[in-house]
Amino acid sequence: MKIVRTAVAVRTAVRAARARGERIGFVPTMGFLHEGHLSLARRARGENGLVVASIFVNPLQFGPAEDFDGYPQAPRRDHALLIREGVDLCYEPRADAVYAEDFSTLIVVNDLDEPLCGRFRSGHFIGVATVVAKLLHAVEPDRLYLGAKDWQQSRVITRMIRDLELPVALVVCPTVREPDGLAMSSRNTYLTAQERAWAPNIHRALSAIAAEVRAGRLTRPGEVATAVRRCLRGGLGRVQYAEILDAESLRPVDLLRGRLVLATACFVGKARLIDNVVFTVPSRAARGTRKAGAPGALSKAGTTGGSVKVGAKRAPRQADSARSTTWRPR
């Protein structure tokens, strides 16, 4: 694996590969890699002739009170993991090379950057969209690989690619989870042992409540948000937001029908953890005369009628069952 530091160097290598007839796959990261990142690299390796990964902790997407200075880094470990996955090129630019002292051009994706994390992380998605645009300009890939854990980010980048007519296909891959269901994140390292044991309740709560929505036992968006908070109340986490929105537009919905995303952000100790479930609720006509069944009692720590329990076991590390989605410019 070759490590390059400048946009000129990565572009030169990519153009040489393209001249040989190879497709280019690109996996952007902030480093401190985990299996979620590696699954993207693996997918890219299977679909492209040249695979490029980037490691860049983007200062533009961090707020003044966030963890930019303390964000975990382990470059030698990351390099070894990327080599293991067959990555050909690692792009590691310096911050002052990405953002000149008088840098003044930002990309704003209106509407999609406002709900969910956007309400609490002012400017975050401006930083995300801007750095992804700059990385795409440097790498010039055919395919860009992102994970579904940050669903809002994937929607923002989808819209940016469409609106700017960027010649890249976005491949959104399923969230990879620990055996107990916790979404993999570099920030999981902030958790104490007690916090780590509690954190899987976030996904258990979302999954249980999504099942209630699909079954028709929760029918109003406000009820869904309240149910998430009630499930997680009294534990080690503090819910920052819980919302159910249209999965593509991220707009509020009046009727819980169609493709939806149920998303939350939760503070667990020093870590701010995000998670979501994307699912489809059929129309009443499609449901026919099937009865929803007796109401399930939502209780604390992500349980529904006692069916989801703290400490419930899952299969070894796996990705969410939702299929990967690919958006291609038209």
User: b/e string for 123-132 if b means 16 or more Cβ within 10 A?
Assistant: bbbbbbbbbb
Give the domain CATH number at 164.
Answer: 3.40.50.620
Helix (H) or strand (E) holding 28: strand 24-29
CA distance 203 to 205: 5
CA distance 144 to 26: 5
Nearest to 228 by CA among 204, 205, 207, 247: 205
pLDDT for residue 300: 57
pLDDT for residue 320: 73
164 shares a domain with 273: no
200 shares a domain with 300: yes
Residues in contact with 64: Cβ distance below 8 Å, sequence separation at least 6, in sequence order? none
pLDDT for residue 228: 97
pLDDT for residue 283: 82
Give the domain CATH number at 241.
Answer: 3.30.1300.10
Supply the range of the domain harboring residue 160.
Answer: 2-178+321-327
Token pair of 74, please? 């382990």
CA torsion sign for 326, 143, 136, 185 is positive
Residues in contact with 199: Cβ distance below 8 Å, sequence separation at least 6, in sequence order? 182, 188, 191, 236, 237, 268, 271, 273
- The 3-state DSSP class for residue 129 equals helix
pLDDT for residue 292: 43
131 shares a domain with 67: yes
Q: Considering its fold, how many domains does the chain have in total? A: 2
234 shares a domain with 124: no
217 shares a domain with 124: no
CA distance 157 to 28: 12
284 shares a domain with 198: yes
For the chain, 330 residues long, give each residue's pLDDT as a single digit of tens. 999 999 999 999 999 999 999 999 999 999 999 999 999 999 999 999 999 999 999 999 999 989 999 999 999 999 999 999 999 999 999 999 999 999 999 999 999 999 999 999 999 999 999 999 999 999 999 999 999 999 999 999 999 999 999 999 999 999 999 999 999 999 999 999 999 999 999 999 999 999 999 999 999 999 999 999 999 998 999 999 999 999 999 999 999 999 999 999 999 999 999 999 999 999 875 555 444 444 444 555 533 333 333 334 444 456 675 455 444 443
CA distance 194 to 177: 18
197 shares a domain with 155: no
CA distance 173 to 145: 7
Catalytic residues: 37
